């Protein structure tokens, strides 16, 4: 039961619900920029929809192009151990389209291979990836 509640709280946070104030405090939490209900005011149907949305988006790249606190653009180092992301190359239905560039990797999906000072590190895998990519020559980004 506690796991379900934790997932619902995470789903509410992803949907932009403001954080709940701790019990016994008089301060109210600041409202989020989006108009969303806190978890304790959601109906059961809204909680279920939020949970389903959370489950569907797990492991995929959101439109913000940020995953695990890192933006998926910039300098990339390919490593064999301790990666930030495990990535699988596919030919169809990728989570992210990637264009390898030599300069200005400044947009979502534009990556530049480096050997030092990367923005994030990836490891090529064949199973259980964090997300999938397709190498393209034009129109990189989230599909």
Q: Where are the domains of the chain?
A: 2-57, 66-142
Check pLDDT > 60 for residue 18: no
Give the number of other CB atoms < 10 A from CB of residue 33: 8
Instruction: Give residue 42's pLDDT.
Output: 86
Instruction: Give residue 9's pLDDT.
Output: 59
Instruction: Give residue 60's pLDDT.
Output: 77
Instruction: Give residue 50's pLDDT.
Output: 82
- Nearest one of 128, 130, 140 to 120, comparing CA atoms: 130
Q: What is the per-residue pLDDT across 89-139, written as a single tens digit (0 to 9) for each?
A: 999 999 999 999 999 999 999 999 999 999 999 999 999 999 999 999 999
Instruction: Give residue 1's pLDDT.
Output: 45
Q: What is the per-residue pLDDT across 32-64, written as a single tens digit (0 to 9) for each?
A: 455 567 888 888 888 888 887 776 666 578 888
Instruction: Give residue 117's pLDDT.
Output: 96
Instruction: Give residue 33's pLDDT.
Output: 52
- Nearest one of 73, 137, 132, 131 to 107, comparing CA atoms: 73
Taking CB atoms within 8 Å and a gap of at least 24, the contacts of 48-54 are 50/8, 50/11, 50/12, 50/14, 50/15, 51/4, 51/7, 51/8, 51/11, 53/11, 53/14, 53/15, 54/7, 54/10, 54/11, 54/14
């Amino acid at each position: 039961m506690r796991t379900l509640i934790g997932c619902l709280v995470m789903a509410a946070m992803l949907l932009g619900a403001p954080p709940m104030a701790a019990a016994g405090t008089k301060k109210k939490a600041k409202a989020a920029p989006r108009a969303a209900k806190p978890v304790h005011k959601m109906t059961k149907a809204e909680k279920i929809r939020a949970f389903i949305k959370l489950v569907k988006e797990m492991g995929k790249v959101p439109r913000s192009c940020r995953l695990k606190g890192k933006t998926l653009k910039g300098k990339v180092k390919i490593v064999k151990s301790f990666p930030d992301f495990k990535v699988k190359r596919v030919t169809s239905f990728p989570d992210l389209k990637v264009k390898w560039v030599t300069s200005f990797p400044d947009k979502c999906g534009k990556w530049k291979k480096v050997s030092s000072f990367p923005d994030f590190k990836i490891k090529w895998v064949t199973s259980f990836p964090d997300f999938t990519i397709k190498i393209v020559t034009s129109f990189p980004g989230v599909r």
